Every structure is written in C-alpha cells, then in structure tokens.
Chains A and B, each alone.
Chain A
C-alpha cells in the first residue's frame, strides 16, 4: 500500500535528479562548443597575428590581427583596479571587523551590500557622469579612458574585498586576540602583527575573486572608454582594448569566419583566465579553513 505523501517525495527526488543533470549538461555543452569552435584559431597567431611573438612581447612591433593588445588592456585594467580597490577594501574590512561598534557596523554593512548589488552598467553610468561633470567644471577636455574604467571596476570589486577581509578576521580564533591583548599590545598592534598575518590567505582569496570579477566585467567598461581598435594601451587617459569587450564586439560585428574563430579563441582565453583565478582563490580559502579548523572560533563581541 502506498503511504500518503510518498508520491510527493518520489516527485521531489525525480525533480532533483532532473535539476542535477541539467547543470553538467549545460556546462559541458558550453565548454565543449567553445573549445571546438576555438580550436582552428588556437595558437600564436591568435595572440599576435602576423607579428613575430618576441617582437610583439617586447613592444617593438605593433600587433594588428591578434588579441594581444586586448590581453594587455585587460591586464592593465586589473592591475590599476587592484591598486585602487585592495588598500581601500582591506582597510574597510579591518575597520568593520575590529574597530566599528555594533550600530556602525550594521549601517556600513548595509552600504556595502547595496554597493554589491548595484548593476555594473549603473557603475559605468556613474563613471560616465563623472566625466560629464569634469567637462562642465574644471577639465573641459576630459574624456573616458583606462583610468576611469579601472576606477569603475574597483568600485565593482570593492564589496568582495571588504566581505572577504571581514569574514576571515571574524573566523579567526578568539584566543589569538586575547593572547595579544594579554601581552599588552594595542589594538593596532594586534591587528597588524597577529590578525592580518594570520588571515593573509583568506584575504588573498578575496583579492583573487575580486580580480576575477574585474577581469570579466563588460558592462561598466562599455560606457567608460573601451574601443574595438586602439592598439596597446598608451596612457592612463587613453582609449584601450579589453578581452570581454573584444568578444562582445566580434560576436555582433564579425565580417569573416576567421574573425568569428578569433572571438571564440578570445572567449576561451578569458575563460582560462577566470577559471585559473577561481581555482587559486579556492586553494587559498581551503588552506585557511584547514589551518584554523578545530580551533574555537571567535566569540569576539
């Protein structure tokens, strides 16, 4: 005899299997399709076109058909955005975890959550508005460019850094703080000599995730100075190329099958980049977990 409700549970199991099979199917279809379509273009010409690789790498010869300028553009975006976001994000995270009182912390967390939820196109619009403002006031010839995009990407990456730093500090064992204060250290000494070194791995994991976020974003840079053909990035205020935009542009405007193959090649390069960053971040976070697992977690405040 079938018990009441057993049908519902079988349905639940069946449906969960269906959903579980859906994920690897989509993932395999996507990666497989990408690899198959990118395969014909894979190799040195994808990056450097007709220019010899060594000359292109050292900057002695310009690259016309390859995606090397877009790669360099993306790398410089990541570098600049990290320079802006890492000090600010880590400092904010430390402040929220170690210095702020309960109320301050709640207010700031709301602001950080809000920042994390702001769509990247709105952040791009913010950068665009910044330039309009500069033009109307004291820099009439201001224009969108590399630095502005990096600033927008830094804004996007900031919540990741703040939350990673804060969470890591809050999961450190309470004994670490008590020992520090017991030795008569000031709060800053406890933070800078004990807590930050101990949380280095967690914070690094957050940094890597934030970098991956900055590397993949397209919407914000779309409004703040990325173009299809700029060559190597020359100056902080100049136009530049970037991988995600290059892919988007080629997907919409490709003229020849070779250009389309290049779009797939670039997508595979970008996927490898973000995939690598993802793995590195995971390794950092798991090591951190292993180091402190089994110890009494902070009951601090």
Chain B
C-alpha cells in the first residue's frame, strides 16, 4: 500500500469513526425512543383523571372501566410460579453437568439445553395446547387452560436461559477451586455443595433476576395457555391474564381509543420492569463477592 502522510491518514480515519459512533448512538437511542413513545402515549391516562380507573380491579372497556391491576397480579403470579419450577431444575441441571452426573452424559445434556433455546415459543405453545392441556383437563376439572398449564410451559421456556447463566458462573468458579478441591480429596458432590454453590452466590442471584424478567416478558405462552380471563386467579387451576397477553388481545379485538391508551400504560409497566431487572443485575454484579 502507498504510504501516506500521518495527518492525511487521520483525516481519512475520521469518517469511519463518525459513522460507527453514529450507528452506536442510533442503537442506544432506540431504547430511549421506545420509552419516550410509551410514556407519551400513556400520558393522557396517567396525567388525567383516569388514573383511578386504570388502577382498579375491573376491566370492562364497554362500561369505561380500564383497570389493569388484575393483569399486573397475573403477570407477577405467572412469572413467579414459573421461576419457582424452573430455577431448582436449572440448578439441578448445572450440578449434573458440573460433576454430580457422569461425564459422558454432561455434553449431550448441555447440547439439548442449547437446542432448547432455538425452539420457537409458538411451537411450545402449540404442543402444550394439544398435549398438556388435555392432561390437566382430565386430571382436574375445568377447561385445562389455566395458570398451572402456562406456568409449567413457561418454566420449560425460561429453563435454558437460567441454565446458561448459572453454567457460566459455575465454570468460572470451578476453574479456580477444582484443583484445590481434588487435592483435599473432595468428591464432586462435596465440591459442589461446599465450594461451588456458596462461591457462586452472585451468579445464582443474576440468573434468578434475568430468568424472572424473561418469564415476565413472554407473550405467547400465557396468551395460548392461561385462558385470559381478566381477573385475579383464586387457584392454580383458574384462568389468568398477563400484561403481555392483555396487550395482544386488546389490539386484536378492540378499537376503542381509551382502551389503547391503557395499553401503553401496560407497556410502560413492562418496560420499567425490564429496567428494574437490569438495575438489579447491575447492583448484584457491582457488589463484592460473598
């Protein structure tokens, strides 16, 4: 290549730098514009006298009641119960992969976990509607479209997310303690219980927070399986409606502009929940280990 003057080179370098910086700014601006759009469109509801109507327990759009509290409760119940199933399972899978199970089984198991991340949500939903829901209908009474069905499938959906985060943490911790543990004669299960698990506290907390966020944000599983009745569920076999499914249902059926505005409030709640999840992760990561 032909040599150039240093100052000339710096000049030629300025354009790509500016372009790259511009692209990064556009990417970052997307997050803020999502927030700005949600805030701007839900402002009429939040600022006007309708706030009381929004924060009520009744969703009756025809009667002018746009209460979204049942959906907030529904989202929290569903995400919480799904994590209560998925988290111990994920922990078990990670213990199995990291020494508690035989070495020959660890790799295929991990490959299938990775494969699970690529399975489309709608496929989980479809199979569950025709495989799991009839089982629940047969075992208990009712339609089968229930909190229970949605929670079980959502647990399967978030499982790989949680496993991959915990696994990253376990790998880092085991790289440090493995030799020492073997030298003092600890069995793999002892190493896991007394060294790896206590030392991985931070990663375990991050996995819980991110998994919860993922469970909260999923739309299709609750939409297809939870029955979508807009009220607070009384038992695991009751139908419930989440914020995400609520948005999808109302856009598909209603054309009431007041109903739309309340949807943006739902979107805003979900966005703020995502923000809390990320800040939670940051604060856990920033804290000292132990």
On A, residues with C-beta under 8 Å from B are 5, 8-10, 12-13, 15-20, 22-24, 26-27, 29-30, 33-34, 37, 87-89, 91-92, 94-96, 99-100, 107-108, 110-115, 117-126, 128-130, 132-133, 155, 158, 162, 184, 186-189, 191-192, 212, 215-216, 218-219, 222-223, 244, 247-248, 251-252, 263-264, 267, 270-271, 274-275, 277-278, 282
Of residues 44 through 66 on chain B, the ones whose CB sits less than 8 Å from some CB of chain A are none
Which residues from chain B contact A10 at a C-beta distance below 8 Å? 189
Interface residues of B in 231-290 (CB under 8 A from A): 244, 247-248, 251-252, 260, 263-264, 267, 270-271, 274-275, 277-278, 281-282
Contact check, A216 vs B121: say whether CB atoms are below 8 A apart. yes
Tell me, rounded to whole Å, the shortest Cβ–Cβ distance linking B93 to chain A.
Answer: 5
Taking a contact as CB atoms under 8 Å apart, the answer to whether A95 and B20 are in contact is yes
Can you list 11 pairs linking A and B with CB atoms under 8 Å apart? Answer: A12-B95, A92-B26, A112-B28, A117-B278, A119-B218, A122-B247, A186-B9, A192-B16, A212-B118, A248-B224, A271-B123
A89 to B23, alpha carbons, bound, how many Å? 8
Determine the residue in chain A with the shortest Cβ distance to B116.
A27
CB-contact partner of B113 in A15, A23, A112, A126, under 8 A: A23
Q: Contacts A122-B34, A248-B125 given; indicate if A20 touches B219 (C-beta within 8 A).
A: no
A271 to B264, CA, bound (A): 32
Min Cβ gap B97→A in Å is: 8
Question: Do A130 and B37 touch (CB < 8 A)?
Answer: yes
**Nearest opposing residue in chain A for B197, CB measure:** A12
> B121 near A118 (CB under 8 angstroms)?
no
Choice from A22, A123, A126, A218 contacting B89 with Cβ under 8 Å: A22
Least Cβ–Cβ distance between B139 and chain A, in angstroms = 16
> Which residues of chain A come closer than 8 Å to B21, judged between CB atoms?
95, 99
Within the assembled complex, what's the spacing in Å between the Cα atoms of A270 and B276? 33
Q: Knowing A16-B95, A91-B20, A114-B275 touch, does A270 contact B120 (C-beta < 8 A)? A: yes
A117–B217 CB distance below 8 A? yes
